[in-house]
Amino acid sequence: MMDLKDLTEAIKTGNRTQATSLTQEALDADLTPQSILDAMVVGMDEIGDKFKRNEVFVPEMLIAARAMNESMAILEPSLVKSGYKPLATAVIGTVQGDLHDIGKNLVSMMWKGSALNVIDLGTNVTPDKFVAAIKEHDAKLVGLSALLTTTMPSMKATVEAIKSEELSDVKILIGGAPVTQSFADQIGADGYSPDAASAVDSAHQLLGIR
Amino acid sequence: MNSLEQLSQPNISELDRSIFRRIAQNYLLNWPVGICVVQPDGQRLMAKNWWAGRDSVTHRDLLAFNVQEGLRFGEPTVTYCPDKRLYWAVPIMQNSKVLGGIVAGTEEEALFPSGMDQPPLDLRKACCELRLMIERENLTNSAVLEKHRIDTERERERAEVLHLLKLEDLSGVRQLYLREEPRLLSTIRQGDRSESRLIINRILTMILHHAGDRFELVKSFMMELVATICRTAVEAGADPEEMLGNNFQSMTALASIRSMEQLAPWLHAVLERTMDAIAAHPDNTSSMIITSAITFMQQHLHEPIGRDDVAMAVDLSPSHFSRLFKHHVGQGFNQTLVRMRVDHAAELLIKTRMSIGQIAHASGFKEQGYFAKSFHRLMGQSPRSYRQHQANCMA
């Protein structure tokens, strides 16, 4: 029987060629989609923890997330067929006035790997667009990202727009270089995450998953 | 076997007419052109569908030039001639010797066979087909041409990256690095590798954002980052020869890196090695002095400090301090001080309700007029409108 440890390792080291072919092999060997997903998530968690502890650099995290994403694309049809349902839908985007997307992309990929259905709205997203996407996809979580100090007010405006729509069961998680916990408290966000790996824990916590 | 090798004395004038006729016939089926065989000096030998009359010396030179260009780039390149014709050529070779070439040419008008608004003739395809035909007839040295094509491609890539680098605003990344450098250095020195990586990750995030999907540009930025960190290491007391050796090896390895998957472990190894080199030399060096100077400036921003005060605070002569400061920070002392004061003022404008005059004073500006002028120059708007704008955004 095929050992899924190799898949975990391929994800962790960001070897996407190997990760995708091992995913396919695992499917061909009739392993359950859930067990394949679990193996991937372990790899992603391990690199995520290292990133959280500042043991690795951004490109290492980026290639692991890419390997995960491409392997997920192969696994997804089988996952869906097997009756797998994402735990919740999350909407994510960089707030209006900000075009930075590295951090947001990382969080987006990590969320996808942690059983969330992620709607990525891209960069420079207006408050209205966030609100519309939450309604359209019945999202339970919103991730707001900003890299510039000057776009932090947009974050506040977005939080206010979401709150004013009385979408009360939607949790808002914010993050990005200039953002702090006290800023999150100040603008009324439900949570703050200092890095991509913590964003998974925070998301699950806010959604009451773990 | 090379068709020319059948000849006892390889000479282009003895090129089998039937071979040329075959090439010409096939080529003319697809393209509205004239085609001829020329000697290395551009003298025409055989032709099909070519223009009547003798070629002038200039014309001959041009045809010869086309053959040379075809060899240089490994594929035909189109030359526009003042007689409103376009030419492209493939060299006829035996081993590395150029015996002449086959030139194709067309009138400028033929470029748009279906009218000016319609797509033009695919000259690139025409060039490529001519080369393939001649290669199939074994009349040229396809290995040499391929090598030249690869070289050209590499040069082109390099030129494109250089061009992109010129267009890119590198100063943002460089300034961020310079701002972070003192802290990076001190965290490495204190053995706080985790904090050091966090700082480098901030710089890397900015690099990756700037470069986007352009991988060659990512590489160039990384090269710049590694070179800068190596310089920091040398200034911090690392052995220059050792650093140069490491640096050289790393850069050589970087050249063959083609994907982010290869780049990530490379970068990890280089950065860790460089940080080791810095950590191994806990001497008090210029970088540490500048770190202290910047800290002193931050603590005394509201006071009327000048270069001499800061130089005295770090025990250096004012002139030596100035040189060291500029070399290290990349801009002069006064310029940096004003920048720091304006940044401080901007923060106060957003976070406090202090009046503009109070803020100018608290940021160390003696005159409000000079404050307003400096603020406008660096932030692109007056302090008042800056505050208003930020307040509107918050609202």
Q: Is residue B160 part of a domain?
A: no
Do residue B264 and residue A57 have CB atoms under 8 angstroms apart?
yes
Other C-beta atoms closer than 10 Å to the C-beta of B285 total 17
C-alpha distances in angstroms, B190 versus A14, B184, B226, B276? 31, 10, 21, 12
Distance between CA atoms of residues A5 and A179, nearest Å: 37
Calculate mean pLDDT across residues B218-226. 83
Residue pLDDT, tens place only, B128-138? 999 999 999 99
Provide the number of structural domains found in chain B: 3
Please indicate, yes or no, whether residues B246 and B311 belong to a single structural domain of this protein.
no
Give pLDDT, residue A16.
92
Contact A189, A172 (CB under 8 A): yes
Using the 3D structure, point to which of B257, B279, B301 is the last residue of a domain.
Answer: B279
- B352: three-class secondary structure by DSSP: coil
User: CATH number of the domain that B83 lies in?
Assistant: 3.30.450.30
Please indicate, yes or no, whether residues B235 and B329 belong to a single structural domain of this protein.
no
Q: Chain B residues with CB inside 8 Å of A59's CB? A: 204, 208, 260, 263-264, 267
Give pLDDT, residue A15.
94
Give pLDDT, residue A143.
95
Q: Chain A neighbours among B 207-226 (CB < 8 Å)?
A: 208-209
Do residue B205 and residue A66 have CB atoms under 8 angstroms apart?
no
Do residue B201 and residue A59 have CB atoms under 8 angstroms apart?
no
Give pLDDT, residue A54.
87
Residue pLDDT, tens place only, B284-299? 567 777 888 888 898 8
ipTM of the complex: 0.72
C-alpha distances in angstroms, B267 versus A6, B205, B206, B209, B385? 24, 14, 15, 17, 43
Distance between CA atoms of residues A35 and A82, nearest Å: 12
Q: Is residue B47 part of a domain?
A: yes
A88-207: same fold as A5-81? no
Distance of residue B218 Cα from the nearest chain A Cα, in angstroms: 11
B382 compared with B202, residue with greater pLDDT: B382
Give pLDDT, residue B67.
94
Q: Is residue B296 part of a domain?
A: yes
Please indicate, yes or no, whether residues B7 and B147 belong to a single structural domain of this protein.
yes
Least confident of A176-185, B24-33, B85-94: A176-185
pLDDT surpasses 50 at B1: no
Report yes or no: B349 at the A interface, CB cutoff 8 Å: no
Residue pLDDT, tens place only, B154-192? 777 777 666 665 555 556 666 667 777 777 777 776 667
Calculate mean pLDDT across residues A109-130. 88
Answer yes or no: CATH 3.40.50.1970 is held by domain A5-81.
no
Q: Is residue B125 part of a domain?
A: yes
Do residue B194 and residue A101 have CB atoms under 8 angstroms apart?
no
B275 compared with A8, residue with greater pLDDT: A8
Least confident of B26-30, B179-183, B352-356: B179-183
- A60: three-class secondary structure by DSSP: helix
Select from A57, A102, A153 the Cβ nearest to the Cβ of B197: A57
pLDDT surpasses 50 at B219: yes
Please indicate, yes or no, whether residues B310 and B253 belong to a single structural domain of this protein.
no
Domain residues of chain A, as ranges? Answer: 5-81, 88-207
pLDDT averaged over every residue in chain B = 83
pLDDT surpasses 80 at A1: no
Q: Is residue B44 part of a domain?
A: yes
Residue pLDDT, tens place only, A148-172? 777 778 889 999 999 888 776 899 9
Report yes or no: B390 at the A interface, CB cutoff 8 Å: yes
Q: Is residue B159 part of a domain?
A: no
Give pLDDT, residue B190.
66
Calculate mean pLDDT across residues A72-88. 85
pLDDT surpasses 90 at B144: yes
Work out the pLDDT band at B33, boundaries 50, 70, 90.
Answer: very high
Torsion of CA A28, A30, A33, A35, to 10 degrees: -120
Owner of token pair 């998301």: A203
Give pLDDT, residue B169.
57
Calculate mean pLDDT across residues B247-255. 81
Please indicate, yes or no, whether residues B190 and B299 belong to a single structural domain of this protein.
no
Using the 3D structure, point to which of B127, B154, B181 is the last residue of a domain.
Answer: B154
Residue pLDDT, tens place only, A121-143? 988 899 999 999 999 999 999 99
State which residue of chain A sits closest to B203, comparing Cα positions: A58
Please indicate, yes or no, whether residues B54 and B193 belong to a single structural domain of this protein.
no
Please indicate, yes or no, whether residues B132 and B172 belong to a single structural domain of this protein.
no
Give pLDDT, residue A158.
92
Please indicate, yes or no, whether residues B268 and B308 belong to a single structural domain of this protein.
no
Sign of CA dihedral B235, B238, B244, B249: negative
Please list the residues that pair with B89 across neighbouring strands.
B103
Please indicate, yes or no, whether residues B147 and B227 belong to a single structural domain of this protein.
no
CATH number of A88-207: 3.40.50.280
Using the 3D structure, point to which of B260, B279, B298 is the last residue of a domain.
Answer: B279
pLDDT surpasses 80 at A101: no
One DSSP character per residue, A129-142 reads HHHHHHHHHT-SEE
Instruction: Count chain A–chain B contacts defined by CB atoms under 8 A.
Output: 65
pLDDT surpasses 90 at B126: yes
C-alpha distances in angstroms, B297 versus B108, B177, B260, B302, B339? 68, 19, 40, 9, 11
Give pLDDT, residue B366.
87
Q: Chain A neighbours among B 178-207 (CB < 8 Å)?
A: 193-195, 197-198, 200-202, 204-205
Q: Chain B residues with CB inside 8 Å of A60's CB? A: 264-265, 268
Give pLDDT, residue B8.
42
Give pLDDT, residue A51.
86
Give pLDDT, residue B173.
66
User: CATH number of the domain that B312 lies in?
Assistant: 1.10.10.60
Q: Is residue B225 part of a domain?
A: yes
Do residue A58 and residue B201 have CB atoms under 8 angstroms apart?
yes
Calculate mean pLDDT across residues B31-45. 91
Distance between CA atoms of residues B51 and B107, nearest Å: 10
Please indicate, yes or no, whether residues B132 and B247 belong to a single structural domain of this protein.
no
Please indicate, yes or no, whether residues B10 and B126 belong to a single structural domain of this protein.
yes
Distance of residue B164 Cα from the nearest chain A Cα, in angstroms: 19
Give pLDDT, residue A127.
92
Give pLDDT, residue B372.
93
Burial class (CB in 10 A: 0-12, 13-18, 19+), A56: buried
The residue range of the domain holding B21 is 3-154
Q: Is residue B162 part of a domain?
A: no
**Tokens standing for residue A38:** 């679990």
Distance between CA atoms of residues A78 and A27, nearest Å: 8
Give pLDDT, residue A210.
59
